[in-house]
A and B are shown apart, each in its own frame.
Chain A
Amino acid sequence: MKHLLGIEGLTRADIESVLRRAEAHLHGAPDASHVLRGKVVANLFFEDSTRTRTSFEMAAHALGAEVLNWTTAGSSVSKGETLLDTVRNIEATGPVALVIRHRSSGAPHLAARHVRCAVINAGDGTHEHPSQALLDAFTLQRRWGEVEGRTVLIIGDILHSRVARSNLHCLKALGARVVLCAPPTLLPAGIEALGAEVTWRLDDVLPQADAVMCLRVQSERQGESFFPSAREFSRLFGLNAARAERLKPGALVLHPGPMNRGVEIAPAVADGPHSVILDQVAHGVAIRRAILEEVCQ
């Protein structure tokens, strides 16, 4: 794998290879601190993110790399520098990989066309968030042994969610059934063509789910009238305690964070027996180590 720009286009074997590596890292497999020793991994975060950036940083350190953390705050971007100039300037300092988070869909693709080092997409606009999908799949696989044949229900703002797109590609590649549930205004046109089933009847599909992934309701969307209010969203699409009772026994509940407790997910559900949300966070570093290994070797 030269770059990791998205899950789309990866084969099942590619994905399984990353998951296997992550498993090894999770078991503290042989000291990996030599893998990128003396190398530099550049984190380019054009958009705020604490957990993804920290997680990539920890992963790079664990592989023995130095980390160059670059953020737009106070950078040349605020002086009007273009994305390509920024990327080329950072590349000139000699990193082995650029980890890019950007609010424009496709920004890492643009970068990848103009640099020689590896580019890892750490979330681009409303397009993809591949490392998140890999850690989600990893979390599910570790619980289930096998993702194939399971039904995963993703609820919420699918339209604006890079997590949903990456998870859809990843879970489909691993043989799962993926159902997307959202108000019609938040279901993107033609998403069925990517292999999803769609519905806005949450209560009908909830009992079929082996795992439910709640997406963050982006409060800034309310002003755009995709839905009338957080309260109405919560009533129709929130995973509250009553709904959680209708889950299959042993069904898993995921959330990519940060959560709006009481909106898309009730606190009791987020912290309840179905929840694997903290596992997701814990698996993030192992997955990102595996990704850095894949693209830097």
Chain B
Amino acid sequence: MSPGSTLLRRGRVIDPRNGVDGVRDVLVRDGQVVRVSEAPLDVPDAHGVEAEGKWVLPGFIDLHVHLREPGEEGKETILTGCRSAVAGGFTAVVAMPNTKPVNDSVLVTEYVKAKAREADLCRVYVAGAITKGLQGEEMAEMGALVAAGCVCITDDGRPVMNAGLMRRALQYATQFDLPVMVHEEDLTLSGKGVMHEGRTSTRLGLIGIPPSAEVAMVARDLVLLEETRGRLHVAHVSCEGSVRLLREAKRRGLRVTAEATPHHFTLEDEAVGDYDTHARMNPPLRTRRDVEAVREALADGTIDAIATDHAPHGVLEKQVEFDKAWNGVVGLETALGLTLGAVREGALSLSRAVALLTDGPARAFGLPGGHLAPGAPADITVVEPDVEWTVDATRFFSRSRNTPFHGRRLTGRVTQTWVGGRLVFENGQMKESR
């Protein structure tokens, strides 16, 4: 399949890495960006696409996605997850290893890659486990995972509680220059908690998780990072204390990156309402003050990327007692709208928001894409910025519907997603090659 030439005409190109924000023509050929021109281009053999009034952005990159395959295909498959991704404007996702079986081996890595090739929609990067079976006891074969193409390692969903093991994992990973992504939670502090510890948990009689459960582990891992000179990526930062530590660590030049999810920078613990399990997530939704702190960290560069932590679950996992419900929310199809919500509220500039979805994640893991300079992959997201729409979970491309945002009005919608110069999603429809 040869994508040929495409000319996206007169869109507002926002490409933070290359300092571009203005009306441009973008010429794409053979899967790559060829030219980004202020003056209108005349390329007779190119397929022209009118983008006037729209934004032409580098394709979004999500560092944190659960595709559930292998093992829980009833919740999501690599195919449905990729559809959800491109519908949300994501041209690349990093698949977390907490599948069944866990991705702690080349076999599972190869399986995910093969299924992603078959889906043939967006780029699927694979994350391997830090420890075998995510048990937190023995290191997985990191070298083999890297050789098979894993772009980071993580026990996401669980912390590595053993500090000695975590220290060695960071040390060992330095030989591959591999980011170690961490789910920061001291299990002795979070205990049986099911939501943020505060007035809402007290009112509802639910066991709370104090911020210290996260902050203490961020502190520990930054100390270990400093000794090992590894690369640390802190997943789903939820609270002010973590932000403060990360800001200081970055100021001192440690190789740490971090991400925050749209739900953590949009919702507070009160969203649990009367036991709405769709607002149950880990780390939990926190207070207004934490939301503000995360927003400031997104704005000032303390946090590098917006990641969705897309975590599909079925009705069986959510339509139960709150303390029995599973954690997580699907996020790929609402991420842009929620991010633009933060922009409209003045928390971030538009170009910073775009950077957090593109350049930031690309740099954090050293992935291609994330910008539109000539030679970059032609991964492009076209957005109609002023379209208002209502989130309807029943119409998600994801196989799951667990979202606290059902019914929410959002502004800004993806109209086209291009991956490697090929149009894979347009106006609510998949353009699958199969």
- Chain A interface residues toward B at CB < 8 A: 8, 82-84, 102, 104-107, 109-110, 124-128, 162, 165, 188-191, 193-194
Task: Check if B323 sits within 8 Å of A104, measured CB to CB.
Answer: yes
Can you list 18 pairs linking A and B with CB atoms under 8 Å apart? A82-B320, A104-B321, A104-B323, A104-B324, A106-B321, A110-B275, A110-B320, A110-B322, A126-B205, A126-B207, A127-B204, A127-B205, A191-B199, A191-B202, A193-B199, A193-B203, A194-B199, A194-B203
Instruction: From B200, B205, B319, give the contact of A124 (CB < 8 A).
Output: B205
CB distance from A113 to the nearest CB of B (A): 9
**Chain B residues with Cβ under 8 A from A128's Cβ?**
205
Q: Complex formed: what's the CA distance from A110 to B273 in Å?
A: 12
B208 at the interface (CB under 8 A from A): yes
- State how many angstroms separate the Cβ of A159 from the closest Cβ of chain B: 9
Once A194-B199, A194-B202 are accepted as A-B contacts, the answer to whether A109 and B275 lie under 8 Å apart by CB is yes
In the assembled complex, B25 has its CB within 8 A of some CB on chain A: no
Bound state CA distance, A124 and B210, in angstroms?
23
A83 B205 Cβ-Cβ under 8 A: no
Question: Which residues of B sit under 8 angstroms from A194, Cβ to Cβ?
Answer: 199, 202-203
- Chain A residues with CB under 8 Å of B206's CB are 105-106, 125-127
Q: Are A165 and B275 in contact (CB under 8 A)?
A: no
Task: Pick from B197, B200, B205, B320: contact of A125, CB below 8 A.
Answer: B205
Contact A104 B319 (CB under 8 A): no
A186 to B322, CA, bound (A): 22
Q: Name the 3 nearest CB pairs between A and B, nearest first.
A: A127-B205, A190-B199, A106-B275
Q: Which of A105, A127, A194 lies at the interface centre, i.e. has the most chain B CB atoms within 10 A of its CB?
A: A105
- CB-CB < 8 A to B323: which residues of A? 104-106, 125
How distant is A123 from chain B, measured CB to nearest CB, in Å?
Answer: 10
**Is there an interface contact between A8 and B203, defined as CB atoms closer than 8 Å?**
yes
CB contacts under 8 Å to A, within B186-239, are 197-208, 210
- In angstroms, Cα B286 to Cα A190, docked, is 13
Of A8, A82, A106, A128, the most chain B CB neighbours within 10 A belong to A106
Q: Which residues of B contact A109 (CB under 8 A)?
A: 274-275
Docked complex Cα distance between A83 and B204 (Å): 19
Number of interface residues of B (CB under 8 A): 22
Report which residue of B202, B274, B324 has the largest number of chain A beta carbons within 10 angstroms of its beta carbon: B202
Contacts of B201 in A (CB 8 A): 188-190
The answer to whether B322 touches A106, judged by C-beta atoms less than 8 angstroms apart, is yes
Question: Which A residues lie within 8 Å of B274 (CB)?
Answer: 106, 109
- Asked if A83 and B320 sit within 8 Å, CB to CB, the answer is yes
Across-interface contacts of B321 in A (CB, < 8 A): 83, 102, 104, 106-107, 110
Query: Beyond A126-B206, A189-B199, A189-B202: 11 further Cβ-contacts under 8 Å?
Result: A82-B319, A83-B321, A107-B321, A110-B321, A127-B205, A188-B208, A189-B197, A189-B198, A190-B200, A191-B199, A194-B199
Nearest B residue to A161 by beta-carbon distance?
Answer: B205
* C-alpha spacing A211/B217, complex, angstroms: 45
Rounded to whole Å, the gap between the CB of B316 and the closest CB of chain A is 8
Q: Which residue of A lies closest to B323 (CB)?
A: A104
Q: Which of B319, B321, B323 has the most CB of A within 10 A?
A: B321
Residues 294-334 of chain B, each 1 if its beta carbon lies under 8 Å from chain A, else 0: 00000000000000000000001001111110000000000
Q: Tell me the complex Cα distance, A68–B7, Å.
A: 72
In-complex Cβ contact of B198 among A83, A104, A165, A190 (8 A)? A190
Please indicate the chain A residues that have their CB under 8 angstroms from the CB of B202 in the complex. 165, 188-191, 193-194
B205 close to A165 (CB less than 8 A): yes
In the complex, A109 Cα to B203 Cα: how many Å? 14
CB neighbours (8 Å) of B204 from chain A are 105-106, 127
B212 to chain A, nearest CB (A): 12
Contact B320 A189, beta carbon cutoff 8 Å: no
A129–chain B nearest beta-carbon distance, Å: 10
- Residue of A102, A124, A165, A190 ringed by the most chain B CB atoms within 10 A: A190
Which residues of chain A are within 8 angstroms of B198 by Cβ–Cβ distance?
Answer: 189-190
Using A109-B274, A190-B198, A194-B202 as known contacts, say yes or no to A84 and B208 having CB atoms under 8 A apart: no
Q: How far is the CB of B309 from chain A (nearest CB, A)?
A: 24
Contact at B205–A105, with CB atoms within 8 Å? yes
Bound-state Cα–Cα, A109 to B324, Å? 14
A8 CA / B200 CA spacing, docked (Å): 13
Whole-angstrom CA separation of A82 from B317 in the bound complex: 11
Question: Closest residue to A82 on the B side, CB-wise?
Answer: B320
Which residues from chain B contact A126 at a C-beta distance below 8 Å? Answer: 205-207
Cβ distance B338 to chain A, nearest Cβ, rounded Å: 26
Find chain A residues with CB under 8 A from B319 CB.
82, 84, 110
- Please, which residues of chain A bring their CB within 8 A of the CB of B324? 104
Task: Determine if B203 and A104 form an interchain contact, defined as CB atoms under 8 angstroms apart.
Answer: no
What is the chain B residue whose CB lies nearest that of A166? B205
Closest to B324 in A: A104
* Measured CA separation A165–B201 after assembly (Å): 12
Q: How far is the CA of A109 from the CA of B202 in the complex (A)?
A: 16
Give every chain B residue within 8 A of A104 (Cβ-Cβ).
Answer: 321-324
* Bound: A193/B203 CA distance, A: 9
Q: How far is the CA of A8 from the CA of B275 in the complex (A)?
A: 14
- Complex contacts, B197 vs chain A, CB 8 Å: 189
| Least Cβ–Cβ distance between B214 and chain A, in angstroms | 16
What are the residues of chain B within 8 A of A8 when measuring CB–CB? 203
| Docked complex Cα distance between A260 and B324 (Å) | 30
Q: Tell me the chain B residues, 87-101 only, with Cβ under 8 Å from chain A.
A: none
Cβ contacts under 8 Å, B207 to chain A: 126
Give the Cβ gap from A98 to chain B, nearest Cβ, in Å.
15
Bound complex: CA A218 to CA B16 (Å): 58
The interface bits of chain B over 231-275 (1 if a CB of A lies within 8 angstroms of the residue's CB, else 0) are 000000000000000000000000000000000000000000011
Q: Could you tell me if B208 and A105 are in contact, using CB atoms closer than 8 angstroms?
A: no
In the assembled complex, the CB of B335 is this many whole angstroms from the nearest CB of chain A, namely 28
Q: Give, as a whole number of angstroms, the nearest-CB distance from B137 to chain A.
A: 26
How far, in whole Å, are A83 and B201 apart by their CA atoms in the complex?
A: 22
